[in-house]
Homo-oligomer: A and B are copies of this chain.
């Protein structure tokens, strides 16, 4: 079994030729020294590091897994060494501000880094995956005293961090959380209770672990507004151990290299982060970035599955492929010659590269929203992030799982056997459809909270900008504009349905279909942009474009019909 190998050329084509990332980064004063050469150099080094040090640990991570014993977790062989090399080389702090010990590079580069890391070893990548969010949270909400102790340690990745949100009865509905924090005379708090599904709650990768815990003061109101955020490290500065304990780790379908911990807080001394009752708010600042990273896990795992299946399809021979009458050929063909196999592989490339355009654009938008001197550009980038994030999170993780399963199919019976590694991709990919907000919650977020909040005007404005960015000469530009028009029209229908007394119910039934409609329209846009950049007419890019139109886009009409049927069936009572 060969390991995942990041392909710099593919990514650079999209960053440089499709999205013109270097030129757009150059407009941001913050990144004055970042040019195309530096970006190439960083990604080239990242690709080598990942291919050589992280990818080879993927299989052992799955087979040995994280091991729990008497409150401690031992990570799979090689994980600790790889992590130490990772943070010390500065990969953990790629986008951390230089003031905080980081590299101060654009978020878009970090996007590529995490896509490749997830592709190479999803389980291992869970550990550093939470760092950036914790860093931002501490930076923007913690007191100076806390920052002094924790900001650089977390920002550089010398210490890892967790997000302690979920409780047994409070999954998607964090407002139901019951853990308690009791205020003490010295300004600290004692937190007690149990949190579950804590990725990296305990491990041996770093000397310390910083926990961010969402919990409730004794007199807090019910629901989400009663939640506050607290920080408690595994080890305090004075060398004493906090009363935070790992009770067990879960047996899971995949990502065995990531310990999913049940954490018990026994009146653990902690500090408030941000304001009382604003705990969710403090966590939500990093939500767009976190959801983008989950989307990139989907893209990465799909690319990893594709890489394996494509290699297999080019070496395995079974049966004669269908040929035009009179064409002789071999008695046994490579399976890539069989239409069902080629269709699977080209379709996945259509998803991978189309998603990359959207995801990297979102990485750029995060940079622009933060650093662009022009307020209008910041606002447009912010709108893009708000609208695109739930779409990407849902669509890329959906395809990450289903597409990896399709790639498994290319191997026939061998795909089901662990030895080839492809079934691990499928198992690992499944979690991304669930965590960081289930895909069903993303769909509701998109339609009810993002699109309908301003009666579809934000979406319409975004689609107009996208439409204007298309080349007028391309034969497919009109097709994309037509999809956008249909999406806008259906959005206006949804605005109407939303005024009906049972509108919220009707819209909830079809929120997932609406998200798919938007996904397909955006994917179609991505591919016209790719084709425009593909001036050498390379089959590497033209084959997936063809597959997109033949096998992927017809879903648009189906979703539209299905939504319209529901709109027509729901009672019209304004």
Interface residues of A (CB under 8 A from B): 166, 169-173, 176, 196-197, 223, 250-254, 260, 317-319, 321-326, 331-332, 338-341, 343, 401-402, 405, 408-409, 412-419, 423, 426-427, 430-431, 433-435, 438-440, 443-444, 501-505, 507-509, 511-512, 550-551, 554-555, 557-558, 561-562, 565-566
Write out the residue numbers on chain B whose beta carbons fall within 8 Å of the beta carbon of A252: 416-418, 423
Write out the residue numbers on chain B whose beta carbons fall within 8 Å of the beta carbon of A435: 413
Question: B251 touching A417 by the CB < 8 A rule?
Answer: yes
Write out the residue numbers on chain B whose beta carbons fall within 8 Å of the beta carbon of A197: 413
A465 to chain B, nearest CB (A): 29
Question: A508 touching B340 by the CB < 8 A rule?
Answer: yes
Contact residues of A: prevailing secondary structure: helix
Report how far A101 CA is from B252 CA in the complex, Å. Answer: 45
Known contacts A505-B322, A566-B550; A430/B413 CB under 8 A: no
Q: List 7 A-B contacts (CB under 8 A).
A: A251-B418, A253-B423, A325-B502, A338-B508, A409-B433, A413-B435, A554-B565
Known contacts A250-B419, A323-B504, A550-B562; can you find 15 more A-B pairs with CB under 8 A? A172-B412, A176-B318, A197-B413, A250-B417, A251-B419, A253-B418, A322-B504, A325-B501, A325-B504, A326-B501, A340-B508, A409-B434, A412-B438, A423-B430, A554-B565
Write out the residue numbers on chain B whose beta carbons fall within 8 Å of the beta carbon of A416: 252-254, 430-431, 434
Question: B438 touching A409 by the CB < 8 A rule?
Answer: yes
Q: Which 7 A-B pairs have the closest CB atoms?
A: A558-B558, A253-B423, A251-B418, A340-B440, A322-B504, A324-B502, A173-B318
Report how far A324 CA is from B430 CA in the complex, Å. Answer: 34
Known contacts A318-B171, A504-B323, A565-B550; A405/B401 CB under 8 A: yes
Report how far A85 CA is from B517 CA in the complex, Å. Answer: 53
Question: B171 touching A412 by the CB < 8 A rule?
Answer: yes
Write out the residue numbers on chain B whose beta carbons fall within 8 Å of the beta carbon of A419: 250-251
A277 to chain B, nearest CB (A): 18
Known contacts A426-B430, A434-B415; A173/B408 CB under 8 A: no
Report how far A507 CA is from B557 CA in the complex, Å. Answer: 23
Question: A430 touching B417 by the CB < 8 A rule?
Answer: no
Copies of this chain, tallied across the complex: 2
Question: A409 touching B339 by the CB < 8 A rule?
Answer: no
A475 to chain B, nearest CB (A): 15
Question: B427 touching A339 by the CB < 8 A rule?
Answer: no
Question: B561 touching A172 by the CB < 8 A rule?
Answer: no
Question: B426 touching A412 by the CB < 8 A rule?
Answer: no
User: Closest B-chain residue to A401, C-beta based?
Assistant: B405
Report how far A137 CA is from B183 CA in the complex, Å. Answer: 77
A331 to chain B, nearest CB (A): 8
Report how far A171 CA is from B341 CA in the complex, Å. Answer: 15
Write out the residue numbers on chain B whose beta carbons fall within 8 Å of the beta carbon of A401: 405
Question: A555 touching B554 by the CB < 8 A rule?
Answer: no
The answer, among B318, B331, B405, for a CB contact under 8 Å with A172, is B318
Report how far A405 CA is from B400 CA in the complex, Å. Answer: 13
User: Closest B-chain residue to A505, C-beta based?
Assistant: B322
Known contacts A323-B504, A501-B324; A430/B412 CB under 8 A: no
Known contacts A172-B318, A401-B405; A511/B251 CB under 8 A: no
The answer, among B412, B434, B443, B512, for a CB contact under 8 Å with A413, is B434
User: Closest B-chain residue to A512, C-beta based?
Assistant: B340
User: Closest B-chain residue to A439, C-beta based?
Assistant: B409
Write out the residue numbers on chain B whose beta carbons fall within 8 Å of the beta carbon of A408: 430
Report how far A566 CA is from B554 CA in the complex, Å. Answer: 12
Question: A558 touching B554 by the CB < 8 A rule?
Answer: yes
Question: B557 touching A561 by the CB < 8 A rule?
Answer: yes
